[in-house]
Amino acid sequence: MTPETIEAYGVRLRPSRLADVADTVAACTDPLTRRFMTGLPDPYTEESARWWITEGAPAAWATGGAAYAIADPATDRLLGAVGLSNPVPARRQLEIGYWVAPWARGRGVATAATRALAERTFAADTARLELLAAPENVASQRVALAAGFRHEGVRRAAGTAPDGGRYDLVAWVRLADDPPGPTARPLPDLPGGRLTDGVVALRRLGPADVDPLHRLHTLPEVVANRVPPVPPTRESIERRCRLAESHWLAGRSADVAIVDAGTGAVAGGCALVYDEPSTGQAMLGYSLLPEARGRGLATRTVGLVAGWAFDIGLARLWAGTRPENVASQRVLEKAGFRREGLLRGRLPGPAGSRLDSVLYGLLAADRARPR
């Protein structure tokens, strides 16, 4: 590829210019930019920006990559940057990356630039583009989906932090012959960000939910029904809350906080794990804090999640309970699930033992049947 100007989807991709220095410094000293671009110089100065424009960007082109400034077509003001790196000629593969200045966020700039550069790159005989993002960088992953990239997996410890530590990167990939347009999500966002019946409200789990979720999952009666039946560490709960949105975007699970609609307090948690996308089947699990029990909130939660799951195209939900967990079985039966059988020794138990599990199932077609 050569550094010609590209105009498409409402953005202009052009080589960086010395006139961009001030805006480059402002963007690259922004905390959100720096959070996920761990290789930026610190401090980032005018000298850093001049080096990038006069030496760094030309070097990217010289080594088989690309380095574009994203500009406003009307004013030519810098809005961000998009580029290609890590070429693998034998695989006809490149990695695409971008950042957007604070004054241009929320306008679809990154998606537009990624689409425009991807199209030009594929036209130049590239077969595969990779887009790597930190799991907590959900804005970047939403761009990947909007630009037609598909979730491929996690690169363990592929990222390097400034302190020398390592972190995972989520891999999103687009092929030259993939269909145009955004990638369809197996698990879309909740409509309006929440589900509610006026009594209970469900929203995506997040970092603010660590305290109630940790308290919930370390209760003895909840631990007894975990797999395996051991209490989680606070660190593992923090990780679950931090990565809930990334897992949702990848189509792995929809992890929600159960909220008392009257008080706004977190009452528990519920997770839909999309364990068999090929058959349209997902597993459902839930638990409530003691102060929220006995009020029908679990039944309402299961009903709301099941309705949403079937509305987005799932065909079957299943849930398993310990044989002695009668309360959970009643919740499932009230929500329309049917007992399907006993799976002997299905779950790991204490001291190497195995525990039975009672299996319940609910079909999308069941909703139309009178009870």
Residues 233-263: pLDDT tens digits?
Answer: 999 999 999 999 999 999 999 999 999 999 9
Could you give the residue range(s) of every CATH 3.40.630.30 domain in the chain? 6-175, 191-368
Please report the pLDDT score of residue 152 as a whole number: 97
CATH of 6-175, one of 3.40.630.30, 3.40.50.10950, 1.10.1490.10, 3.40.50.300: 3.40.630.30
Q: How far is CA 323 from CA 116, 277, 302, 344, 355, in A?
A: 56, 28, 19, 10, 9
**Can you state the angle between helices 297-311 and 326-334, rounded to 10 degrees?**
50
Please report the pLDDT score of residue 162 as a whole number: 84
What's phi and psi for 67, nearest 5 deg? -145, 105
Give per-residue burial for 307-340: e unless 16+ CB within 10 Å, then b.
ebbbeeebebbbbbbbeebeebbebbeebbbeee
The alpha carbon of 253 is separated from its chain's Cα centroid by a whole number of angstroms, namely: 9
Cβ atoms of 36 and 15 within 8 Å: the answer is no
Q: Say what the pTM is.
A: 0.93
3-class state of residue 26 by DSSP: helix
The single residue listed with the structure tokens 């700039």 is 109
Eight-class DSSP state of 235: H
Query: How many angstroms separate the CA atoms of 207 and 225, rounded?
Result: 24
Give, in words, the CATH class of 191-368: alpha beta
β-sheet with 166-175: strand ranges across: 6-8, 11-14, 66-71, 78-88, 93-100, 128-133, 166-175, 150-160
Please report the pLDDT score of residue 169 as a whole number: 97
What's phi and psi for 266, nearest 5 deg? -70, 125
Query: How many angstroms separate the CA atoms of 220 and 132, rounded?
Result: 40
Q: How far is CA 112 from CA 53, 92, 359, in A?
A: 22, 23, 47
| Mode of pairing for the β-strands spanning 78-88 and 93-100 | antiparallel
β-sheet with 354-363: strand ranges across: 194-196, 200-204, 253-260, 266-276, 281-288, 316-321, 354-363, 338-348
Query: How many angstroms separate the CA atoms of 35 and 14, rounded?
Result: 25
The single residue listed with the structure tokens 């034998």 is 90
Please report the pLDDT score of residue 363 as a whole number: 97
| Residue numbers in the chain where pLDDT is lower than 50 | 370-371
| Mode of pairing for the β-strands spanning 66-71 and 78-88 | antiparallel
Please report the pLDDT score of residue 370 as a whole number: 47
